Amino acid sequence: MKRPLPKLLFLFSLLLLGAAYGVKSYPVLTLKEIDISGSNRITADSIPVALGQNIFDIDLTRVVNAVYSSHFVESVSARIDHTGKLLVKVVEKVPVAYIYLDDLYAVTARGELVPSNIADTIFTLPVIQGFRVDTVGMYQVINSPALRSALKLIKDMREKHADIFANLSEVRVNDAGLGLIFEPGSVVVNFGWGDNDKKIERMQNILASNKNPGLDLDMRLVDLAIMRTRTINREASNGI
């Protein structure tokens, strides 16, 4: 007596093939909508899919790579929900400062040069001055300890001391450390290197009580702040 197993396997294979064909041709499983969040620059026309396309034919890796080809994109994810909607979530590169090299660039927190018009922040972000690099290219990531220190200071000030960050106009990079300029009032700060939190808190207290325009402030010593105006010289110790 012959066993029916081979015949059953053959019939089962045909059933699977038929089911797969049915799934791929079933109209309910077609792409009905493309939803892009996080960017006004990416449009549905730049996504390599078509409405009405079977969702099982959509290559999400290809979708992600297509969006990544835009240089202003920091990260992207894509998925298809149960309603047949393609959800594309985009995070754009955000400048934290501007920097003048051979031209004016915006720079991200990781030191990547991006176009200065990538965001409408030209009047709200500080400008980094005094930094030099041998070769400059758009979307270049500058690996420099001095620039990283400047960007770290900007990040700390923006996240922890937003009120003082709002008045930060320039960050100057030189051999002695970082220099800061605050407006209004033309307050010039010799910040030095490191100890950001302690120095920022002390500087914030001093600037909050300062009534003199044209203040020069030396913060290089963590426990001692030296202040000088155009008419008054005085020292401030731990009590400030």
- The b-or-e profile of 176-189 (16+ CB within 10 A means b, else e) is ebbbbbbeeeebbb
Q: Per residue in 110-169, pLDDT tens?
A: 999 999 888 776 678 999 998 888 888 999 999 899 999 999 999 999 999 998 899 999
Indicate the pairing of strand 127-129 with strand 168-174. Answer: parallel
Q: Per residue in 167-204, pLDDT tens?
A: 999 999 988 899 999 987 789 999 999 899 999 998 88
pTM value?
0.72
Find the largest Cα–Cα distance for the chain. Answer: 114
Query: Is 124:133 a contact under the CB 8 Å cutoff?
Result: no
Does the pLDDT value for residue 65 go beyond 80? Answer: yes
Q: Rounded to an integer, what distance in angstroms lies between the CA atom of residue 106 and that of residue 6?
A: 68
- What average pLDDT score do residues 74-92 get? 94
Domains of the chain: 28-92 (3.10.20.310), 95-236 (3.40.50)
Q: Rounded to an integer, what distance in angstroms lies between the CA atom of residue 144 and that of residue 22?
A: 57
- What average pLDDT score do residues 53-72 get? 93
